[in-house]
């Protein structure tokens, strides 16, 4: 746009809209969290046997930006709409996704809870408490990695729950390990889609009724730093 005033001409260039990654530049590390399985304990009536929660860790936002672009490109190439969700995309899309993200440096840490071994009444009856507790365990079992991290979590759930979870994590994790907790819509956030795919691959590996149970976990294996079986 050109604007003339008092004989002078100024040129104003449009300011690029920040991406989903750069909009969260509050720390030096970006962590994405997602879960697979339900929080219910009606194991004889359809509740999942395991509850898996995983985090994808990027040491810098620049690396995260490049991975985000790779997810977007893979979505176009593989004709996936509207988003990558492990439970919904085809086997071919899963293969293509993990192949496309293989060159990008990130770390995966996960926690798998065998719910049959949980005996606490509160954990078995309070879904929010169970979810918060498991996410806290995952973040505490970080191998000393987290420092000044911005944590982004899939934004499902109502605002009251999200606020309660953010406050819970800040209270439970002392020091400067977490700088910010934010929530994101998976359809608009490529990296939430990335952590969904990683969590789904790990959760699938615990299925005893699938011949291909470990197929995508093996593709992800070079990125996996730790999977803690909480039993």
How many domains, in total, are found in the chain?
A: 1
Task: Grade residue 6 by pLDDT with cuts at 50, 70 and 90.
Answer: very low
Could you tell me if residue 181 is inside a domain? yes
Could you tell me if residue 34 is inside a domain? yes
- Distance of alpha carbon 113 from alpha carbon 53, whole angstroms: 9
Residue 154 pLDDT: 85
Bigger pLDDT: 5 vs 167? 167
Could you tell me if residue 12 is inside a domain? no
Task: Grade residue 180 by pLDDT with cuts at 50, 70 and 90.
Answer: confident
In this structure, the strands spanning 224-230 and 107-114 are parallel
Task: Grade residue 50 by pLDDT with cuts at 50, 70 and 90.
Answer: very high
Q: 7: alpha, beta or left, given left = phi > 0 and alpha = psi -120 to 50?
A: left
Structure tokens at 161: 């729950």
Backbone angles phi, psi at 155, to 5 degrees: -85, 25
Residue 157 pLDDT: 67
Could you tell me if residue 17 is inside a domain? no
CATH number of the CATH domain containing 57: 3.30.420.10
Could you tell me if residue 14 is inside a domain? no
Q: Residue for token digits 């999942």?
A: 48
**pLDDT higher than 50, residue 35:** yes
Could you tell me if residue 152 is inside a domain? yes
Average pLDDT over the chain, rounded to whole?
86
With a CB cutoff of 8 Å and minimum separation 6, the contacts of 63 are 104, 105, 106
Before 110, cis peptide (omega within 30)?
no
- Distance of alpha carbon 154 from alpha carbon 76, whole angstroms: 22
Bigger pLDDT: 36 vs 164? 36
**pLDDT higher than 60, residue 38:** yes
- Nearest Cα residue to 185 out of 95, 70, 85: 85
Residue 163 pLDDT: 83
Could you tell me if residue 10 is inside a domain? no
**pLDDT higher than 60, residue 17:** no
Residue 206: which domain range? 30-230
**pLDDT higher than 70, residue 7:** no
Could you tell me if residue 1 is inside a domain? no
**pLDDT higher than 90, residue 1:** no
**pLDDT higher than 90, residue 161:** no
């Amino acid at each position: 746009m050109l604007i003339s005033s008092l004989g002078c001409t100024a040129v104003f260039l449009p300011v690029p809209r920040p991406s989903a990654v750069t909009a969260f530049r509050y720390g030096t590390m970006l962590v994405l969290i997602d879960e697979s399985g339900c929080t219910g304990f009606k194991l004889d009536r359809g509740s999942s046997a395991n509850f898996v929660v995983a985090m994808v860790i990027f040491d810098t936002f620049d690396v995260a930006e490049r991975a985000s672009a790779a997810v977007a490109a893979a979505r176009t190439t593989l004709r996936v709409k509207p988003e990558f969700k492990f439970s919904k995309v085809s086997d071919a899309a899963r293969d293509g996704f993990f192949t496309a993200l293989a060159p990008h440096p990130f770390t995966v840490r996960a926690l798998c809870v065998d719910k049959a071994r949980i005996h606490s009444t509160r954990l078995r009856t309070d879904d929010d408490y169970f979810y918060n507790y498991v996410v806290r365990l995952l973040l505490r079992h970080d191998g000393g990695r987290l420092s000044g991290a911005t944590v982004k979590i899939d934004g499902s759930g109502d605002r009251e729950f999200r606020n309660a979870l953010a406050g819970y994590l800040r209270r439970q994790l002392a020091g400067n390990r977490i700088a910010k907790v934010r929530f994101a819509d998976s359809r608009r956030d490529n990296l939430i889609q990335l952590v969904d795919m990683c969590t789904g691959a790990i959760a699938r590996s615990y299925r005893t009724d699938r011949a291909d149970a470990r197929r995508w976990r093996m593709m992800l294996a070079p990125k996996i730093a730790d999977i803690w079986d909480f039993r």
